[in-house]
Amino acid sequence: MKISILTILLVLVATFSFSQENSTYKSSLKKLIQISGSEAAYKGALDQMISMFKQQQSNVPKEFWDEFAVELNKDAIGQLINMILPVYQKHLTEADLKGVIAFYETPVGKKYAEKTPLITQESMLAGQEWGKQIGEKVVGKLRDKGYLKE
């Protein structure tokens, strides 16, 4: 009986310890998401999704969408953090997160967070152009070799 009580106590202590560790990790992840500008990007994506639904469902009154947006924004980021928490824990320690947070708290880190959406948008356009050029080269090469007819 003493062994089973001791085992239960050890499991409870380990569970409590893991829960505290998970909670501090989650807090660090939430801070990283906020300070990096990702939270603002996620909220922008939510707004875009609602806007798309509005267009697709134009018969639905504006009040519905306004209420829905408020409801959705209450905890959407919290839900997302819960979903990505295991992914981050798999690849980064809490010390890693704190190191990245420290970077984002520097002037260059703040600038990087501010400019990331623009950099991403412009990089996507450059990537599309790059893909188009590669596609044209493939088609040209296929034509040169006689695999495509005009």
State pLDDT tens for residues 113-141.
999 999 999 999 999 999 999 999 999 99
114 near 44, Cβ under 8 Å? no
Q: Yes or no: say if 26 and 81 are a contact pair by the CB < 8 Å rule.
A: yes
Domain ranges of the chain: 2-105, 110-150
Region of residue 36 (left: phi > 0; alpha: psi -120 to 50; beta: else)? alpha
pTM of the full structure:
0.72
What is the 8-class DSSP label of residue 61? Answer: -
pLDDT band at 28; cut points 50, 70, 90: very high
